[in-house]
A and B are shown apart, each in its own frame.
Chain A
């Protein structure tokens, strides 16, 4: 029994990620005395990890059906734009604006899904075109409605969300740690919801089956088109949530929100074991993959890496991590055979 658990966890890609993550944290921690500084290092690091994990989940949602979302960043900008509008033009409270923005993101995602299902054209092409359309549209709205290309109105609670940690959440006399930002709660909720969706809910499981074999899914009574639209809507909604988190972190709602999302959106899920071909997702893996890249970046920055050595080392560590993973896979396969 325990042996089997051991073997299974050895064969799991995520085990490698956890080990690597622990190793890196130990190495950086011993090299950099201030690496565990909760105000300046851990808190902001976790805030970024939280945001990028949600970005990763947004990509994961479409990877589950074997699609890609090239427009993930721009959907974040689109959703964030509605939040900005809600606060600046309609004077809505924080969470009302959040709901409107996420709904707008989900709507644009659903529209993308509808275009894909009604035309049968590859998602790469459609989301690429959508990326262009949104890039133009969002800029136009901002230059039309604002003078400094940003919605700067901050509704009540936004500032707190930016700086508050679990230390500000108390149950009786017991308060949380000041290292964990409150913003991370959004990421945890998103992970729980998406995790439940794909492991337990029929809808999410059916999305995975669509990713695995769309024809068989259709012939098994799965409403394939609806699942495709659903996955894209989920992707858009999560992207908008990530846009919100980024806007809260950086301070205002601008057209450039999400322009840096594309790379991390793939890194997290793929490092974590989500297939690009569809049919398998890993939510924890997405979190681990995102953490890994952010920890590497943070550690290297603190070690005083220059711009160039930062990218070079990041690339090399990624390759090394994945190659190690490959070695581990080969070993665990051998073991299984020689049993």
Chain B
């Protein structure tokens, strides 16, 4: 149905695609896998006319096509959800959904038609949103689903989904999968990109794996492949997830304690404590107030009651600078593009920004040489893929960007590190490397507060798991690193609270 043959795409200094081929059949869900920076998003952008290939051919329904604009792609029946959010903030949900084909009557917008069409697409996803509501201010998970609705509105015969589930709750994911299956059964060809192999096995029929821009596995039935085969195809060598050894029990005095803390953001009566060398997990469904709590600890929203103690002393943290300098607390934010990175700045500055004081020469200026050396250390340590540390962070792939965001805080050498959703959109190998890294950092004495919505990750890493719901703590689980029982207890806490 849709056939891509030997696609090549060059960016300044990078061969993003170097002979990628792929064949998507109607009535099936095709997985596109690969490490960060393998070229998945680039391939999708070529299939949707955003980029023009520097080589290779495309055909839809047996006819060779040249998709030189997004319109051309949608005319050819290709619909897409890109990895980055692409909504117009000041427009209504409805208008965003039908933006590609705004219905008009007598030269003016047909609002009723917009509302009806938007409602239809939202209903498909079981989303109860008012089509007239403005998009600005909606939470990320809903934005992602609105993008899916937008893709559905095109009734395309080929649907490309680039990591559509990174921000979704399990139930939202389930709902999305049902819709995808229904589309598949109606003959739509679906391409699905994800780093979560469980999802891939649950949903997909065939698979293509990209490595460094080349298809190393092309349109192969998924049923024939074991998880291990996929992973080794992606990483190019046999890869076994290291089982992280158990870590010694921590007995040191807590370095960070919250007792009965309420915040201006709406938290009520939150108590928890974190010791050096410990990984404390903070679990909850999206919107439970975990990121907000981290920001309250950093002084970004006021603590209205209760006490925050650092190393035993009650403190009043003013801002991130105070947290970093006065208390050695760091925070790796979840939204790397908006909060973590300086996209138009080079990797060096992004990594060194918090430690310029340390890199000063005798006469007082920041030394570019030691800055570069520092950056190179962490580029190597985290395996960040780039041609030069002078490269702008915005030109890196999503996973590598996330690594830069973490590198900044590792470079800052804090004693307490809050890490928020560290592996969203990160490939398996990098993810394992991240886990190992975090584990090692904790073993070396760092106190880690880990916020993640990935329960597997939580069970892999955390020593204890504090469960949050609606801006308060509903319980704590000691992690025995067995997925089944621990996850049951965590979910149990969430649900018990709901009743």
Touch A–B, Cβ below 8 Å: yes
Q: Which residues of A contact B (CB under 8 A)?
A: 196, 199-202, 205-206, 208-209, 212-213, 215-223, 279-280, 333, 336-339
Residues of B358-388 at the interface with A, using a CB-CB cut-off of 8 Å, are 360, 364-366, 368
By a CB distance below 8 angstroms, the chain A residues around B324 are 221
* Candidates A199, A216, A223; contact of B342 at CB < 8 Å: A216
Contact B333 A280 (CB under 8 A): no
Q: Would A205 and B366 be within 8 Å (CB), given that A219-B320, A219-B331, A221-B323 are in contact?
A: yes
B12 to chain A, nearest CB (A): 4
Chain A: minimal CB distance from B39 (Å)? 16
Q: A209-B342, A221-B323, A222-B321 are in contact. List 14 more A-B contacts (CB 8 A).
A: A196-B365, A199-B368, A200-B364, A200-B365, A205-B366, A213-B338, A213-B342, A213-B343, A217-B353, A218-B319, A219-B333, A219-B339, A221-B325, A279-B345
- Contacts A196-B365, A200-B366, A220-B408: A212 and B10 contacting too (C-beta < 8 A)? no
Interface range, B side? 20 to 34
Contact check, B339 vs A216: say whether CB atoms are below 8 A apart. Answer: yes
Contacts A221-B320, A221-B321, A221-B325: A202 and B356 contacting too (C-beta < 8 A)? yes
Q: Is the CB of B366 within 8 A of A202?
A: yes
Residue B340 CB within 8 A of the other chain: yes
Establish whether residues B342 and A215, one from each chain, have CB atoms under 8 Å apart when the complex forms.
no
Task: For residue B171, give the distance in angstroms from its CB to the closest CB of chain A.
Answer: 30
Q: Determine the main DSSP class of B at the interface with A.
A: mixed
B2 interface contact, C-beta 8 A: no
Could you name 16 residue pairs across A and B whose Cβ atoms are closer than 8 Å? A199-B368, A201-B365, A209-B349, A212-B343, A212-B345, A213-B342, A215-B338, A216-B341, A218-B320, A219-B298, A219-B320, A219-B339, A220-B408, A221-B319, A221-B354, A279-B345
- Whole-angstrom distance between the Cβ of A339 and the nearest chain B Cβ: 8
Q: Does B126 contact A (CB under 8 A)?
A: no
Instruction: State how many angstroms separate the Cβ of B430 from the closest Cβ of chain A.
Output: 21
Minimum Cβ distance to chain B for residue A35 (Å): 40
Bound state CA distance, A134 and B364, in angstroms? Answer: 37
Query: Looking at the complex, which one of B325, B340, B357 makes contact with A219 (CB distance below 8 Å)?
Result: B340
- Contact call A337/B12, Cβ cutoff below 8 A: yes
B480 sits at the interface (CB 8 A):
no
Interface residues as binary, B395-428 with A (CB distance below 8 Å gives 1, 0 otherwise): 0000000000000100010000000000000000
Residues of A within 8 A of B321 (CB): 221-223
| Cα separation A333 to B338 with both chains bound (whole Å) | 28
| Chain B window 329-348, contacts with chain A (Cβ cutoff 8 Å), 1 for yes, 0 for no | 00101000011111111000
Residues of B within 8 A of A219 (CB): 298, 320, 331, 333, 339-340
If A220-B320, A223-B319, A223-B321 touch, does A205 touch B342 (CB 8 Å cutoff)?
A: no
Question: Which 3 residue pairs of A and B lie closest in terms of their CB atoms, listed nearest first?
Answer: A200-B365, A212-B342, A221-B324
Report the bound CA distance from A216 to B10 in whole Å: 30
Contact partners of A338 in chain B: CB under 8 A: 10
Which of A202, A215, A222 contacts B339, CB < 8 Å?
A: A215
Q: Provide the residues of chain A in CB contact with B338, threshold 8 Å.
A: 213, 215-216
- In the assembled complex, the CB of B45 is this many whole angstroms from the nearest CB of chain A, namely 16
A196–B360 alpha-carbon span in the complex (Å): 13
Q: Which residues from chain A contact B340 at a C-beta distance below 8 Å?
A: 216, 219
CB-CB under 8 A from A215, the residues of chain B are: 338-339
Q: Residue among A221, A337, A339 with the most chain B CB within 10 A?
A: A221
Chain B residues in 8 Å Cβ range of A208: 345
Which interface residue of B13, B298, B324, B365 has the most chain A CB atoms within 10 A? B365
- Look across to chain A and name the residue whose beta carbon is closest to the beta carbon of B335: A215
